[in-house]
Chains A and B, each alone.
Chain A
Amino acid sequence: METEVAQKLKILIVEDDIIDRKLLERLLSQSALSISDIKSADCLKAALELLDKNRFDVVFLDLGLPDSQGTDSFIAIYGKAPDLPIIVLSGLDNREVAVKAVKMGVQDYLVKGHIDSNTLTRSVEYAIERKGISKILDEKQKNIEAVFDAAPIGMMLIDEHAIVKRVNNTTRQLLNKDYPQIINQQFGDAFGCVNAINSGKGCGNSPACNVCPLRKAISTVLELQQPVHEVEGQLTLKIDDKEVVRWLLVSGVPATIDGHLHAVFAVNDTTKSKLAERERQLAEDKYRTIFENSAVSITLVDEQERLVSWNKFTENLLGMDKEDLYLKPVKLLYPEGQWQKIRGLNIRQNGAQRHIESEIIKKDGSLISVDVSLSVLKNPEGKVIGSIGVVADITERKRAEKELRETMEAKSQFISTVSHELRTPLASMKEAISIVLDGIAGKINKDQKRFLDIAQRNIIRLARLINEVLDFQKLSANKMKLDLQPNDITETVKEACHTMTLFAEKKKVKLSIKLDDDLPKARFDNDAIMQVMTNLLSNSIKFTPENGAVSVSAQHKAEDLVIRVSDTGMGVSKEFLAKIFDPFYQIHQPGQESKGTGLGLSIVNKIVMAHGGRIEVESEVGQGTTFSVFLPLDGRPKPEVLSEKTDELLENTIVDSQAHTA
């Protein structure tokens, strides 16, 4: 300040009384002040014009001007030059006004007639210095206010009557209101609390206000004058005419401002995190409900493989309670051998979820069959911190499976037995009729022969049907063992065609063979593939009208032998084609009675599949049908397939019989 005073001062005197003005000028010139310039104005208007054009270091202001009176003069000057120190000149009669002006920001006042050069010097120096200090204080105040306003946390100042006196920008933004809508209202009204609005009497007057934690926090600070720390409350606020739920976390302290008790609050909008937390909680509740109410046992095992958490079902399953289970080494729940198998899965190393069927020991020592599903449990850093086991009681399933197996076995046994029992009388019948037909028991006439032929033919058909049922049952039960040997498909196809020659001739169907040269040997069961070929051939011949043709071809393609049986028969519609390999499926042709079991093609398909091959069929109604058998060179039998030699009778008699349908 001193430096400023040390400079040469420019002074403005606003005084309408010329004598007073001259007196002041003289006193100034006699003072210790270093003055460069003194300008005078005799009215406010002139003063304001001078202030527009010049910079002054201090102003002497008479409060009683012709165009302005009292503090208005000061306010006008202050408005024009807020940084300019003002010394008011007053008469004895308006001293009170001068004191009021000082309170409003005037640096000093001098009473006319009581001024000497020393007083003047001191007054000017103090005025300049005070104005300087005041300016610094103002700036500091502004800084503090700027910090308050810019603080990224909501700030709120409440007076002793719980009236909001000030909020910062963050709070304003939170409420999406302008300052005038917030200031000088009760807390709840300022915030637009729906309870405050609906009560009609403002914040604090709704029944809900009695339990409002924020209201209580304000009371604590203002009435008990105690700080509150992180009080959270949920308010429904009306923001932009919409009711929105906000979670507010407030901390407050009592503070004396301008000699009055206030409360300073930090207001944090925790709605987002609260909602996120609630969602987490909901999710957690959801999973906990699933966990607790699951009809499977769910267990959580720590790093030391001890049980740390489990659901109710676990206790029911094992017949154990919390004391039995807490920190129980999980291996004690399994028989030794079973535990080794579970350890063998090594899920902590292998990571992925694993399934195993096992047994588990109940509290009473009994064992139950279970399906165990294990997964590792990792912390967010990826470190294994335990594992989760889901254990399902499969005792009932096991029992049902066993029952089903037994039923299937019994059914299979029944079919087998019945079929065998049928064969014996059939053998006697066939032999007896053969003896007569052969003429061994005496000469028979033409008609006798005709009818015995019919009997003979139907016995053979019946025998074949029994064989098919047996074959099908064995293939279905995976009990047919294939005798896979390197075989020459050429031989097999030729032999099959040979056995079909008579049937083809009888039907007046041309049977031709076209086999590629040098076909490689393939591993297959000769009898079984023979059965496939004779079945396919008899089928084709049967469905081919007189003068039609059936051709057989064989080729080597990649890893397969492809054997095709094509006919120029009536063909099969798409609708039937899809079901052609289904067991017991028969195509009923007009005027033709069903003469088979409907198992032939199903057996063919199963035999080919048992070799690891496949069969395809293409057909055009009225044009013909082609069956393509893809037989792998290196036949891969299905495991557990047991074998049977194809019944010789079938091979020998199929020519005689009316070939069965698809």
Chain B
Amino acid sequence: MLNLFKSKKKTSHAKVLVVDDEADIISTVQYRLEFCEFDVITAVNGKDGLEKAAGERPDLILLDINMPIMNGYEMLERLKNNPELKSIPVIVVTAFSDARDITKAAEFGIFDYVTKPFDFPKLMEKISNALGNKFQQ
């Protein structure tokens, strides 16, 4: 395991919205991200996620697909149809490993994806890529 993300050496003020209906996923991801000094907002479904995105204007969204009330696809579609929100990069974090599901999400415009269970260093790498110069090590 890489040692890169074990310590609190990184500083960042990027705001990340984590949308997932699994409380345990949110807890662990949030803990990790906050440790890396991200501002973390959470939402438990697509509808909640859209509202948080509109209200909080995050720099990045980590989005689950399979959620009640409004799933990830629908949220993505609405997000990308909203001129004010469409530029927010989205990384899909889903247990759906089937390429067709990823393709469906990709059609709406996503930055990247990881499948559950993921490796946190890999996810961080993608977050880092998505944020570009907003994320400084």
Contact = CB atoms under 8 A, between A and B. Distances in A.
Interface of A: 416, 420-421, 423-432, 434-435, 437-441, 459, 463, 467, 470, 481, 642-645, 647-649, 652-653
Nearest to A456: B1
Contacts of A425: 24
B74 to A, nearest CB: 19
Nearest to B3: A438
B6 A649 contact: no
Interface stretch (B44-52, B95-103, B128-136): B95-103
B107 interface: no
B98 A427 contact: no
Interface in B20-42: 22, 24-25, 27-29, 31-32, 35
11 contacts: A416-B98, A423-B116, A424-B22, A426-B117, A431-B120, A438-B5, A440-B31, A459-B117, A467-B97, A647-B115, A653-B119
Nearest to B36: A440
B100 A435 contact: no
Contacts of B7: 439
B27 to A, nearest CB: 8
Given A431-B32, A648-B122, A423 B99 contact: no
A468 to B, nearest CB: 12
Contacts, number: 82
Contact of A432 (B24, B100, B114, B118): B24
A511 B24 CA distance: 41
A645 B96 contact: no
B73 to A, nearest CB: 15
Contacts of A424: 22, 25, 95, 116
A428 B25 CA distance: 5
Contacts of A459: 117
Given A438-B5, A440-B31, A428 B95 contact: no
Interface in B79-127: 95-100, 102, 114-120, 122
Interface residues of B, number: 29
A420 B32 CA distance: 23
A427 B31 contact: no
A275 B97 CA distance: 76
Contacts of B28: 428, 431-432, 435
A644 B115 contact: no
Nearest to A434: B120
Interface hub of A420, A470, A644 (most chain B Cβ within 10 A): A420
A426 to B, nearest CB: 5
A424 B5 CA distance: 22
A440 B35 contact: yes
A427 B116 contact: yes
A286 B53 CA distance: 83
B83 to A, nearest CB: 32
B6 A428 contact: no
A579 to B, nearest CB: 29
Contacts of B31: 435, 440-441
A427 B117 CA distance: 4
B45 to A, nearest CB: 15
A97 B54 CA distance: 158
Contacts of A467: 97
A652 to B, nearest CB: 6
Contacts of B95: 420-421, 423-424, 427
9 shortest A-B CB distances, which residue pairs?
A428-B24, A427-B117, A431-B28, A427-B116, A423-B95, A644-B99, A420-B95, A438-B6, A430-B117
Contacts of B119: 648-649, 652-653
A504 B100 CA distance: 36
A430 B97 CA distance: 17
Given A441-B31, A648-B122, A652-B119, 18 more contacts: A423-B95, A423-B117, A424-B22, A424-B116, A426-B117, A427-B116, A427-B118, A428-B22, A428-B27, A431-B25, A431-B117, A432-B24, A432-B27, A438-B1, A440-B6, A643-B99, A648-B115, A649-B118
Contacts of B99: 481, 642-645
